[in-house]
Chains A and B, each alone.
Chain A
Amino acid sequence: MSFELFSNLVGAFFTLCIFSFLYKDNPFYQAAEQMLVGISLGYGLVYTYNRVFVPYVWQTIVIKHQFVLIIPAIMGILYLFRFSRKLGWLSRYPIAFSMMGVGMGVPMGIHAAILVQMRQAMVPLESVNLMLILIGTIAVLLYFFFSKAHSGIYGKFVNVGKWYMMIGFGASFGLTVMARISLLIGRIQFLVNDVLGILK
């Protein structure tokens, strides 16, 4: 048995452990689930140590002698005080440092999510499709504006937004079905082709 086949069999074993949950909850599934969490956590820890801590903290402080970086290193350790009831307030400092970036998110977010989208909705109405898009965008926006009652002609117009959203969610649903099934197809391709070697 080649090493590759053995590795694939190990993968297939754990795949079937998780699939066994479909029949009913069982010890194999429970054990596999906990192992998944354990290995993911261990992987994250080791990778963070090797690719983030060593090059950006250890080497910069100890080898390149940039001692000012001891301050953010200590600030990072303050994260752990989250679990302490008495000293929990210390963990606010590193959180505040990372929340600073929200200041840049405001102008960039306004540009990308709002202004550009608005500009594209305000193009010359050269075709029926563009007119439909404009009507739909405005109707959907107004549908969520609850300060004015949805009654009368205004209510009827806003109702159009509801139909647009139904079609939009229907399209999302159709694509979601495809996505979920694709994930299953991937697993079964692994079992059928890589393990059993039916199609290569």
Chain B
Amino acid sequence: MNIFERMQKLDRRWIYIVVALAIIIPLTIPYDSDNVTTPPTENLYQMIDSFAGREDRAILMSFYHDAATMPELFPMEVAILRHCFERNVKVFTLTWFPAGAPIIDYAINSVKEEFPDIQSGVDYCNFGYKPQAFAMVLGMGDNIANTMNTDAEGRKLENLPIMKGINNYSEMNLAIEFSGSSAGGMWITYARPKYGLNVAVGVTAVMAADMYPYLQSGQLIGMLSGLKGAAEYEKLVDIFAAYRDPVIDYSVEYDEDGNRILPGRPFGREILEDDASKKLSLITTQTRAVFTPNEFAAFSAKYPENLAMLSSMGKKEDDKVVIDITEITPEMRTQMGERMYREIDRLTRNTLYKFKVARIGMNAQSVAHIMIIVFIVLGNIGYFIQKARAAKD
């Protein structure tokens, strides 16, 4: 048997080993890469961001999937929850699959760990598993508290602080459905024509191509497609919602002009396309907070009691001042206080592992896609050469 015949008859278990290695190796060696954002993701981000800080707006996340599609959908859900908790957007979560209930708990608990001020019933509300999807979708258009009655913990909805200002779809104006199949169908068919609800979906990539007609017709205002959509959203959250300006004092609610100070910053295309923003969404571990001299002065002015410590920590590099967080000892951390430590940690622009899972996955995806393309090309080369030889004989 010549080499091409042997190639064609290769035992499939060798192919499995190549696939496994092609994914294990990139996952164990993180490197920085850039996921280009697409309009469906950006539109969804902007719509959720427009609800930032508003008491009379909320989003609903419908977890219409089970554990099988979690690798693609869970990072999206975590990224959106992180966006909402950063920018003070009210969130409601719900599922119509019994198997979806633990997934909601995982997602909320995983994100809540980093936001000690976020409370159930005030900033978010989990409806848990509710049967009879169709009835819920229509009922919430009239009155959410009457339709849902209680949340997952059994508390009556009308008593919860989060329901202040939220009656029905006019206020809970965006529903995002996460599903591995038929995402958004119920909302687009029943809730949108009757109540004008905005609908977006987070789908596995398998269904993404089928959703484009709905995107173009406006029935969907945005879409996150698979792991790439999750990676794009994580990047947007890192660049905008999780961004902290060293100059601004986020602990006060209003600045001197009476404008509301919200954490993060709004979406801006120039910021997104600027090369400097790439440094805000790096995958590798970041330990250095870099300030311009003016920023460092303004930052120090926020913590006058720790001025001496800050001056000793800040090192001059070129024309910037750098604080390396690994050089902060536990005694220094206790002395400066948890608030200042957290702010320096933020300014290193380091992302926790759980908030960059999709981007790390996309690195492995790059290698895997090249591998599949190589397989296709090799398979076709072998096939055509075989065919030519057979024709010659």
A–B: direct contact at CB < 8 Å: yes
Complex-state Cα separation, A188 to B28, whole angstroms: 10
Q: Which residues of B contact A (CB under 8 A)?
A: 13, 16, 19-20, 23-24, 27-28, 30, 68-72, 74, 98-99, 101, 128-131, 134, 188-190, 192-193, 204-206, 208-210, 213, 216-219, 225-228, 353, 357, 360-361, 364-365, 368-369, 372
Q: Nearest chain-A residue to B66 (Cβ)?
A: A40
Interface status of A89 (Cβ within 8 A of chain B): no
Could you tell me if B24 and A192 are in contact, using CB atoms closer than 8 angstroms?
A: yes
Closest 9 pairs between A and B when the two form their complex, measured CB to CB: A186-B71, A179-B205, A47-B98, A120-B217, A182-B227, A175-B205, A172-B209, A112-B189, A179-B206
Complex-state Cα separation, A101 to B132, whole angstroms: 12
Could you tell me if B365 and A198 are in contact, using CB atoms closer than 8 angstroms?
A: no
Complex-state Cα separation, A110 to B189, whole angstroms: 9
Chain A residues lying within 8 Å of B369, measured Cβ to Cβ, are 177-178, 181
Interface size on A, as a range, is: 35 or more
8 contacts between A and B (CB under 8 A): A23-B13, A47-B101, A47-B129, A177-B369, A181-B364, A182-B71, A185-B364, A199-B353
Count: A-B pairs, CB below 8 Å: 129
How near does chain A come to B205, taking the closest CB pair, in angstroms? 4
Q: Which residues of A contact B (CB under 8 A)?
A: 22-23, 40, 43-44, 47-48, 51-52, 56, 101, 104-105, 108-109, 111-113, 116-117, 119-120, 133, 168, 171-172, 175-189, 192-193, 198-200
Could you tell me if B206 and A176 are in contact, using CB atoms closer than 8 angstroms?
A: yes
Chain A interface, >50% SS class = helix
Complex-state Cα separation, A7 to B369, whole angstroms: 32
Complex-state Cα separation, A172 to B204, whole angstroms: 11
Chain A residues lying within 8 Å of B192, measured Cβ to Cβ, are 112
How near does chain A come to B283, taking the closest CB pair, in angstroms? 10
Could you tell me if A117 and B217 are in contact, using CB atoms closer than 8 angstroms?
A: yes
Could you tell me if A185 and B13 are in contact, using CB atoms closer than 8 angstroms?
A: no
Could you tell me if A185 and B225 are in contact, using CB atoms closer than 8 angstroms?
A: no
Complex-state Cα separation, A153 to B190, whole angstroms: 41
Could you tell me if A179 and B72 are in contact, using CB atoms closer than 8 angstroms?
A: yes
Q: Nearest chain-A residue to B353 (Cβ)?
A: A200
Could you tell me if B209 and A171 are in contact, using CB atoms closer than 8 angstroms?
A: yes
Complex-state Cα separation, A56 to B129, whole angstroms: 14
Chain A residues lying within 8 Å of B101, measured Cβ to Cβ, are 47
A182-B361, A183-B71 provided; 18 other pairs, C-beta below 8 A?
A108-B193, A116-B219, A120-B217, A133-B216, A178-B365, A181-B368, A182-B71, A182-B204, A182-B227, A185-B361, A186-B71, A186-B74, A186-B361, A189-B27, A189-B71, A189-B360, A193-B353, A199-B360
